[in-house]
Amino acid sequence: MLVPAMSWYYVDALRRQVEVREDLLPGLVSSAVIRRETLVWNEHMETWRPAGEVLSSLFSGLPPALTTGQRQQLLNVPIGTVPAASVATDPVAVCSLVFGFLGLPICVPIFSIPAIICGHIARKRARQQALASGNSGLALAGLIMGYLGFSILIVFILFYVGMIVVAIVVGDSEMPVGPE
């Protein structure tokens, strides 16, 4: 019998731990989000276990789980050619890359700051993903271009400030001090 108000955790398709209230478990089982082989855990368990063992009452009336060979036969795909799961491209990583390109001196260097911010956010997200993806590389490229564009912006600002200071100093030394 299930204890009310208990939090359960399950491992989703992206291998993330997802917290769910106990009353939502039957709906997740019936919609095949949680399958017999899905690992589940709650605070009363020592280790993660397959849902079919722990929550067997929720799986009564459902057909048995297909084996990998049966799934491949249904898909009519030769064994060994089932593609691995992949992670979608993170839009923040793409924004970092685009802002990085725009932040180079050819365009407007002010885009370098959003490239740096988006790059750091996307790198953090990429580290938290269970599956390998190209998001980290996109974010790194955006970060590099963002920092390069920002550095060039700072050099230009320092150059122009220096030119203004030199013009003021030179202009003051050539001006007459007293009445002529």
Residues 6+ apart with CB under 8 A from 50: 36, 37, 38, 39, 40
Cα–Cα distance, 34 to 13 (Å, whole number)? 9
Query: pLDDT at position 178, please?
Result: 57
Checking if the pLDDT of 160 tops 70, the result is yes
- Tell me, yes or no, if the pTM score tops 0.85: no
Query: pLDDT at position 75, please?
Result: 66
Give the range among 72-81, 119-128, 167-176 with minimum mean pLDDT. Answer: 72-81
Sorted by where each begins, the domain ranges of the chain are: 7-66, 91-174
Indicate the fold that domain 7-66 takes in CATH. Answer: Dna Ligase; domain 1 (3.30.1490)
- DSSP annotation of 180 reads -
pLDDT band at 116 (very low <50, low <70, confident <90, very high): very high
